[in-house]
Amino acid sequence: MLDYTLSRFSNGTTIKRVSKLRTIIKELRAKFDLTQKDLADKVGVRRETIVFLEKGKYNPSLKLAYDVAKVLESKIEEVFFFDD
């Protein structure tokens, strides 16, 4: 998902900066030999949710981000980050 940030400058100019949420879930799943379904079952969501997370089409709740990171033995900010 896209996150928009407005920056205002002293000369009155406003620009919109777009950040996209990125993840390394797919890479970490491979490290732990987990399928999308395996991860989904461990965090209590449907497989499609994991698909959308990996594609950057869904912003997770804080709880889901925490649960995913915990299963993948990582910090939230290592698994999810904004691409500026």
Residue 63, phi then psi, degrees to nearest 5? -60, -45
Query: In the prediction, which pLDDT does 59 show?
Result: 92
Query: In the prediction, which pLDDT does 15 show?
Result: 61
Residues 8-25 have pLDDT tens digits of: 667 777 665 667 889 999
Considering the domain delimited by 2-83, tell me its CATH architecture: Orthogonal Bundle (1.10)
Query: In the prediction, which pLDDT does 1 show?
Result: 46
Q: What is the mean pLDDT of each run of 10 residues along the chain (84 residues)?
A: 54 68 95 98 98 93 98 97 81
Residue 81, phi then psi, degrees to nearest 5? -155, 160
Q: Where are the domains of the chain?
A: 2-83
